[in-house]
Structure 1
């Protein structure tokens, strides 16, 4: 960080993410559903699908809620310029202090023609955010491997791993140390019919075995080519999609907390996440006590 950046960085209200949040594509969440998510006790709404920095929904969601943190998961650094991201953050931080987190990441090699040297691009992006006065507490990085996780520790609030397992969570916590944010995503299907739950799990998670960053990470945790052929083996689906009854799902999500996660972002697979979120909320509230 440059001396000039140190002068520019403002003090900010520290986010209260809660222990559990909701991951949903930004095109699907509404002010009304965000308000119910908050009322159910979830601390953060994580907006997936690479929301653009000029999306007017950020302010609508924040205005519709009182304490819910709105976080991007993630803004794609190849699609959104860092100055635009800084403009968004500074405007929202001024109006809704401590309630907007700028999650950024390099996306997927398979989908981005300008993906070369993503680590260097992340560093350059962070340099611009520094120069514009976006504090490290106001941003976090999508991270799977050790190098970007260390960068997340040094230059941001922490790491936002996606499609992961508790063993990976434990490794990331070791790299991050005790103080950095570790907010992990985990998919959920509330259905005790195993075949039906796995089928829905494959609709939501089968796609990712074809993406090298996720497949390579999962190989570190014992998955092999027999697991990582679309739409994924039963072992793969059972690992990355918590399914069964509410108690079984809650116990699976708690494994991440026991492994060192500060926060678990729940992605309910299917058309409408709210019925499952309503059912899970009382058990997750007990976990937070």
Structure 2
């Protein structure tokens, strides 16, 4: 069954003011709320609130970096939320980026595939309530056991962009989380993970008919994200290398304004959905039609009433 998720918190809305909307989401047809963790709220607190405001919703992190918490603390945070929302919490983990890990959190970003693999395997054992003493390739743990292991343990999904991590997600995780892809890219990702694995993706939605404004915001986001090496490699794999090469060259030269300007409209329009609320909803549905299990809407600010926009973007019923 296809799901329909929303990224919380919404930009510009105080956390406590989300309650009225989140309580309404299940009746609108939303099945999930998902958090992120960069430099805003942490990933767990908004979901802890949502767990009490709307007990029908599934809750997910997309994603928690595997470097910025120790393995034991990550297990504790996940188990605490799983206790608040039994059977309704999905822990999404991933490597994140050097800026977030090293620049903002004073940790070393090294061996991302191995660190993510080791963290997943540790969490499987720890969240099951086992005492863990293990020498992993990227860290070691001695005699760790959760005092409050949630029952059931949460599902674990992996952030994955390219075939290696996507295949690993299919082999050992409960799903894959991807990001910054077009609806037409979904079949290529689905081909790697297989037909049955849950595949989630955050979809950037800018519900406005002011195409120039939407594209301006989209260009800033694209140049910020897709110049990160992992995302650059992802879009090379997806086949956008030539279209994005001028952006990369300008960015590398320190020409940030030019980097934005040279991103083709075609790329912006495929990665940042815009138009009327009805048009945006149809574009989201195209991801589902192409094989995405869980679209997770990230509603970008337009100056409009974001609560009304979220209501309008609810799945057609």
Same fold (TM over 0.5): yes
How many residue pairs match? The answer is: 267
Partner of 1:120: 114
The answer to whether structure 1 residue 258 and structure 2 residue 289 are counterparts is yes
Partner of 1:274: 307
Q: CA RMSD in A?
A: 2.5
Partner of 1:107: 96
Deviation per CA, 1:117-169: give whole Å up to 9, x if none.
10110111012112213588611011110111111112211111011122332
Structure 1, gaps ≥5 residues long: 1-15
Distance 1:164 1:56 in 2: 27
Distance 2:119 2:96 in 1: 14
Distance 1:136 1:94 in 2: 9
Question: In the alignment, is the contact (CA less than 8 A) between 2:34 and 2:47 conserved in 1?
Answer: no
Deviation per CA, 1:243-278: give whole Å up to 9, x if none.
112332122212211221111111111166322111
Q: Which structure 2 residues correspond to residues 1-289 of structure 1 after superposition, within 5 A?
A: 19-25=3-9, 29-30=15-16, 31-32=18-19, 33-50=21-38, 52=42, 55-113=44-102, 114-134=108-128, 138-223=155-240, 224=242, 225-226=245-246, 230-231=259-260, 232-270=263-301, 273-281=306-314, 284-286=315-317
Question: In the alignment, is the contact (CA less than 8 A) between 1:136 and 1:155 conserved in 2?
Answer: no
Deviates more, 1:113-122 or 1:87-96: 87-96
Deviates more, 1:239-248 or 1:181-190: 239-248
Structure 2, gaps ≥5 residues long: 103-107, 129-151, 251-258
1:233 Cα offset (Å): 3.1
Distance 1:201 1:210, change over 3 A: same
1:79 Cα offset (Å): 0.4
Partner of 1:5: none
Distance 1:195 1:52 in 2: 32
1:217 Cα offset (Å): 1.2
1:201 Cα offset (Å): 2.3
